Amino acid sequence: MNHFLALLLGFLVDLAVGDPRWLPHPVQGMGWLIGKLEPPLRRLLPKTDKGELAGGVFLVVLVVGLTGISTMGVLWAAEEIHPALCAALEVVICWQILAVRSLRTETMKVVRALEHGSLEDGRRAVGMVVGRDTDCLSEEEVLAADVETVAENTADGVLAPLMWAALLGPVGGMCYKAVNTMDSMVGYRNEQYLYFGRAAALLDDACNFFPARIGGVLMCLAAYFGYDGKNAFRMFFRDRKNHRSPNSAHTEAACAGALGLQLGGTHLYFGKPVEKPVIGDRQRPVCRKDVKRANDLGLLTAVLALLLFVVLPLCLTL
């Protein structure tokens, strides 16, 4: 099957059904593999900074390599059985690497927790989608963290796998997902992972370099459909570098400008304050409706990315 067509169909399936809880997800397998490889790599290599750096490099090579080889092997086996089976499997893989609907589902749980529960429920819910400490967050801080998650993950959970799968097919999309999963598990700047997780973090930064910047521009364009497009572009060009990560602030700045919010700032991570500059101007407090607005903006951005990365190349190849 034309991989652009598989990606288009996978996008539509993801939009329709998301990630059902009963269905095993490739990220679970990647997480299991990372968890199994980390202890022996740490034992085999010296307990030094260089040893941990080397261990992190081996982890990246093994996880990405095994992911790519296993994906190619499964597709080859399916092709040997019947081309239709291989085509269906390509669609399933493209569906599984995207997170359009699941991003909305998980972030809207925070709003429902606040509406039908308590602030403590909202803190627990947002703790499932962010890396910062959430025990002492106010309701506005909980909602701001939720909006930031939507903005950032529109880039690395939707646009990046969409772009890499468009460029390198389902195998490339799965390899990107492996890199992103490693970064979420070991790419922390704390004592445990400062060196061991550095290779995964740097590779994730490299893989997200173009998707983040393209995503920021597309989100600014999407903001003209019912949001403040002019302010989105203004905040994008002003604040897109206001983050310790080289990629995270691009879509966050566009989202903040589009919604008239202020995001970012200093927060606690593993009990320690991490200073970050703010993103956007505080035109008003963050409210519960802003999570839905951010998700709607993210969906519009994803549709524009689909047109750019998939539909246009598909039309050119037909």
Q: What does pLDDT average to in each consecutive run of 10 residues of the chain (318 residues)?
A: 93 95 91 97 94 97 98 97 96 96 96 95 92 88 95 96 97 97 91 94 97 98 97 97 91 98 83 83 96 98 98 90
Rounded distance, CA 141 to CA 267, Å? 10
Spatial neighbors of 60 by CB under 8 A, at least 6 apart, are 179, 182, 199, 200, 203
pTM: 0.94
Q: What is the pLDDT of residue 171?
A: 97
In whole angstroms, give the CA distance from residue 274 to residue 262: 17
pLDDT of residue 121: 93
Concatenating the DSSP letter of every residue in 11-72 gives: HHHHHHH---TTS--HHHHHHHHHHHHHHHHHHHS-SSHHHHHHHHHHHHHHHHHHHHHHHH
DSSP state for residue 222 in the 8-state scheme: H
Q: What is the reported pLDDT for 291?
A: 97
- Tell me what pLDDT residue 131 has: 81
Distance CA 30, CA 36 (A): 10
Q: Which domain holds residue 72?
A: 3-317
Look at the block and give the residue holding tokens 């983040």: 212
Query: What's the pLDDT score for residue 271?
Result: 73
What is the token pair recorded at 72?
A: 């190619």
pLDDT the model gives residue 268:
74
pLDDT at 8: 97
Q: Give the pLDDT confidence score for residue 262 in this predicted structure.
A: 96
pLDDT of 261:
96
- What pLDDT is attached to residue 152? 95
E strand residue ranges, the chain: 263-264, 267-269, 272-274, 278-279
Residue 103: per-residue pLDDT: 96
The total of structural domains in the chain comes to 1
Task: Choose among 221, 247, 235: nearest CA to 300.
Answer: 221
